Copies of this chain bind each other. A is one copy, B any other.
Amino acid sequence: MFEQLGLIGCGLMGGSFALALKKAGLVKRVVGYSKSPSTTEKARLMGVIDVEAPSALLAVSGADIVLVAVPVTASEATFKSIKHMVTPQMLIMDVGSTKRDVIDAGRRALREHIGSFVPAHPIAGKEVSGVENADPDLYEGRQVILTPIERTQTAQLQKAVDVWTRLGCRVQQMSPEQHDAAFAAVSHLPHLLAFALVDDIAARPNAEQLFGFAASGFRDFTRIAGSHPEMWRDISLANKTALLSELNAYQAELARMHDLLEHEDGQGLQALFERASIARNNWGESRKQK
């Protein structure tokens, strides 16, 4: 299907994409570039990429498909560094957790080439990062959200749909705004809430005793508080508007809960807990059936 993948960022997400394309027989050659030369070398030694490129620009040279798998804050610099090699036939995608900011970066840096860029967010990941954890099956069975804009070329959009579908993904399209609002609610806000709880407890004089009593409920609730601090700083800032709106809604919900508890409104508390419990268990069941 493709002659050459130009991979910029040979980490978990990028490396897994290269391995998945190879496994599916969708690419002949992978040329990779990472900011750290030792990562690029490791990727080659592992067979994730075939050729090490000395720059992002040279990774893109001759490619018919390009994956930009770098931290969202590095998107603009990356787009700038490759723009002179971008061709109208090239399919360029990213894998960022936020879309409006990456698209804005793309508009500024790629300019007339923006139509080759199909913004993508595969909902996949691991708790560990790095090319050493790259996995050809990381994307299999997962959802991929594509957020095309008016200038996105339909041919490139169709290629993007096809390639993710061939990797076993369920592909959906929506606007960047819808995407960012939805992920602020179901991903970004929960991360902030978990960070806040652990930080609140860790700052106390009896933190060690408190952590000593924490059991499996706490373990699961706070698992995402072990996530990468810089990455979540970047996601939070990149999705600031939607995230602040979610945070406001949640703070209002907590204020309502505070009132119910303060006034010992058992019926109100139970009704709230019941709505949540039913919704959560229904969701859990629907996931199992997939």
Residue of B nearest to A183 (CB): B213
**Bound complex: CA of A261 vs CA of B245, how far in Å?**
11
Is the beta-carbon distance between B196 and A250 smaller than 8 angstroms?
A: yes
- Quick check: A190 and B213 within 8 Å, CB to CB? no
**Contact A199 B247, beta carbon cutoff 8 Å:** no
Q: What is the distance, in angstroms, from A158's C-beta to the closest C-beta of chain B? A: 23
- State how many angstroms separate the Cβ of A139 from the closest Cβ of chain B: 13
A230 sits at the interface (CB 8 A): yes
Interface hits, A122-162 → B, CB 8 Å: 123, 125, 143, 145
Question: CB-CB < 8 A to A248: which residues of B?
Answer: 258
Contact between chains at A270 and B229 (CB < 8 Å)? yes
**A224→B243 CA distance, assembly (Å):** 23
Instruction: Name the residue of chain B whose CB is nearest to the CB of A191.
Output: B217
Number of copies: 2
Cross-interface CB contact of A280 among B198, B209, B264, B277, cutoff 8 Å: B198
Among B195, B236, B250, contact of A277 (Cβ-Cβ < 8 Å): B195
Chain B residue at smallest Cβ distance from A264 = B237
A240 contacts which chain B residues (CB < 8 A)?
Answer: 261-262, 264
| Residues 198 to 229 of chain A near chain B (Cβ within 8 Å) | 198-203, 206-207, 209-215, 217-229
A137 CB → nearest B CB, Å: 15
- Report if A18 contacts B (CB, 8 A): no
Q: With A186-B210, A195-B277, A279-B199 known to touch, is A251 a contact of B251 (CB < 8 Å)? A: yes
Whether A112 sits at the interface, judged by CB under 8 Å, is no
Whether A257 is near chain B, meaning CB under 8 Å from some CB there, is yes
- Contact B283 A214, beta carbon cutoff 8 Å: yes
The answer to whether B223 touches A244, judged by C-beta atoms less than 8 angstroms apart, is no
Instruction: Report which residue of A199, A243, A286 has the largest number of chain B beta carbons within 10 angstroms of its beta carbon.
Output: A199
A residues 240-290 in Cβ contact with B at 8 Å: 240, 243-244, 247-251, 253-255, 257-258, 261-262, 264, 266, 269-270, 272-277, 279-281, 283-284, 286-287
Q: How far is the CB of A13 from chain B (nearest CB, A)?
A: 14
Q: In the bound complex, what is the Cα–Cα distance between A280 and B228 (angstroms)? A: 12
Query: With an 8 A cutoff between CB atoms, is A77 at the interface?
Result: no
> Does A58 lie at the interface of the complex (its beta carbon under 8 Å from any beta carbon of B)?
no
Collect the chain B residues with CB atoms within 8 Å of residue A258's CB.
Answer: 244, 247-248, 251
6 smallest A-B Cβ distances: which pairs? Answer: A202-B279, A229-B273, A198-B276, A220-B220, A195-B276, A199-B276
